Amino acid sequence: MNPNKLEKILKKFNSTRVLVLGDVILDEYIFGKVNRISPEAPVPVVEEESRSLLPGGAAYVASHISNLGGKAHLISVVGNDLHGEKVSRELSLKGISSFGLIKDNARPTILKTRIIAQHQQIVRIDSENKAHVNSGIVRQLLAKAEALIDEVDVVIISDYGKGVVIPSVFNEIIKLAKKKKKKIAVDPKPAYCLLYKGVTVITPNAKEAEGSVHKLIKDEASLYAVGKELLAKIKSDSVLITRGEHGMTLFEHGKKPVTIPTYAREVYDVTGAGDTVIAVLAMALAAKASLLDAAYLSNFAAGVVVGKVGTAPLSMTELKQALNAHKN
């Protein structure tokens, strides 16, 4: 790993263009403090101090790309509601167009509410409809992809299992991207992991990788077995298994697996770490980086965001500081 080489790749980020397809979520954070236990039940009483609403899921991926100087095009579905309008407004402030956001009257915008006190998440409440989008919405999603594909270098598929990223959508978008010779990076869920055939890179975490091939990762040997089997089954260029505090391991055809140790100094909140990895990985690939260099950069980025509470997008300054710290 050469930090100077990685810095040169970062300099090309402002010319990258990325299409993000995935489930959009509105993340609500309620911050407070705990001084007592409720007399009504054995639970903490959180005294609210502040709250915020931020675009999450695939919108968080797009926010990273914009924050790091790239151009993000987002394709997804929101409800025809106030939360959907909030997502659109927040994305607009980040320079991300709402052209690819389709309003669905049949489903509300997904809302995840997290209550946090003393840097710890107390509880999370999910308000969502995970039913698959209907055929009319599928046609609209594919039409948006057709309209945008020539504007981008890389396609990200960010699957949160909320009903937008389904085979009738991603199979056609993968075909389209291949036809246009675009690289494809996928952050999968186990249900569809083996269906992402022939993509550039797929980034399951250890649990998702285990679920995809029905084998447990217990040590280095079993990790290698899972990674190689996944690589063979989906016939992709590479598989990048993210492993939390153990870093990540890259599997490429014809090469030995490479394990990259984590660069996180402190871990406060793993929320959004996978989104950070896929965003930076795709931008590096758009900047013509090798898969290994792209993986190193995404690992540095993940090390920064897990040191934060909540889903504040990564900044270029933070990423450069992380690289510089490793130099020293």
**Residue (of 314, 250, 231, 221) closest to 13 by Cα position:** 314
Judge residue 225's burial from the number of C-beta atoms within 10 Å of its C-beta, 0-12 exposed, 13-18 middle, 19 or more buried: middle
Active-site annotation holds for 187 = no
Tell me the two tokens of residue 193: 């992991």
Which residue is listed with tokens 């690819």?
A: 100
CB atoms within 10 A of CB 285: 24
Which of these is catalytic: 27, 104, 275, 293?
275
Q: How far is CA 221 from CA 218, 225, 241, 279, in A?
A: 8, 6, 14, 29
Rounded Cα distance between 209 and 228, Å, is: 11
Q: Which residues of 95-124 are buried (b: 16+ CB within 10 A; e: fewer)?
A: ebebebbbbbeebbbbbbbbbbbeeeeeee
Q: At what angle do helices 291-305 and 273-286 cross, to 10 degrees?
A: 150
Rounded Cα distance between 194 and 66, Å, is: 30
Active-site residue set:
275
